[in-house]
Amino acid sequence: MEYTQLGRTGLKVSRLVLGTMNFGPQTDEPDSHAIMDAALDAGINFFDTANVYGWGENKGRTEEIIGNWFAQGGGRRDKVVLATKVYGNMGADGAAWPNHDKLSAVNIRRAVDASLKRLRTDHIDLYQFHHIDRDTSFDEIWQAIDVLVQQGKIVYAGSSNFPGYKIAQANETAARRGGTIGLVSEQCLYNLAERRAEMEVIPAAQEYGLGVIPWSPLNGGLLGGVIKKEVKGGRRATGRTAETLADPAGRARVQAYEDLLDKHGLEPGEAALAWLLTRPGVTGPIVGPRTAEQLTSALRAVELELSQEVLDGLDEIFPGPGPSPEAFAW
């Protein structure tokens, strides 16, 4: 496994991030524990979750599964850089009860304590804001974070799904206040088929020294060899992936992608991850395996070197938007 610094921090993290969103809804607890053991054995030390994972009536279940795994001992907690998130409503009855969501100081305090209890740990290494809160100032947010850092409950703060201007606003406010280093990472939607983050988000992250953690690196399975699997009678595409394949132009693009990689003897999912590892500013993509076999496939991407011919071909099939403002102006 390769390691890198998380943004401008001294924290060393693996170049693949273990995403846990499937733990609970898709993968039962024993299999989830087996995947985490396999990830740790392979050198993955960066685990990502969120307080709402488990979804619906089972919100918080994913954190509980991770906490039970930590409780098995064996140095599991000490070896893991643990990241979770706050924003979504965690009201016990599922209703949007006031102050049980978003980023008020009250909810941040409540949410941290609840996550620590479920995760069965005394601190969170990276506490991420799952979405922007248009109703709460960054002065209030950083005041709450400063207290939590002083209490030893969190170490770093990061963002997720932030536009570039909010990354700038957050860190300029932190710099003005002093006493906090501000955001150290941004977790954003970024993959070969969805490159809009290159316009504003990634440049802002680089300017302020944030590590970029792409989520949905296979674009919901679209980049994982979906047509090849369909031909072989495997799992059929659903949701947005199915909608893309139903469009002749979209299907032709995915087919060209799979044909290019097949020509070079590459597996689509592994190549999509390897491409992200070549991108400026990227710390490591989040891989969310449902099975141990999917984790094994993802691990091969770290050692995969894409030739310039392949990289050029991928850019031709999935061209990026270009930098801002030239992407939309002159």
**CA-closest candidate to residue 264, choices 314, 218, 317, 229:** 314
In the residue annotation, 156 being an active-site residue is answered as no
C-alpha neighbours within 13 Å on the C-beta side of residue 116: 18
What does the DSSP 8-state code read for residue 313?
Answer: H
Distance CA 301, CA 311 (A): 14
- Residues 6 or more apart whose Cβ sits within 8 Å of residue 123: 116, 152, 153, 154, 155
**CA-closest candidate to residue 80, choices 124, 116, 146:** 124
Q: Which residue in this structure is represented by tokens 């369909």?
A: 230
Do 49 and 287 touch, CB atoms closer than 8 A?
Answer: no
Query: What pairs with residue 85 in β-bridges?
Result: 128
Do 291 and 30 touch, CB atoms closer than 8 A?
Answer: no
Distance CA 254, CA 258 (A): 6
Helix (H) / strand (E) containing 183: strand 183-189
Which entry of 3, 53, 165, 208 is annotated as an active-site residue?
53
Distance CA 174, CA 171 (A): 5
Q: Copy the structure tokens of residue 49.
A: 């979750």
Q: Which residue in this structure is represented by tokens 């709450």?
A: 144
Distance CA 167, CA 198 (A): 14
Q: Copy the structure tokens of residue 237.
A: 């595409």
Q: Which residues are catalytic?
A: 53
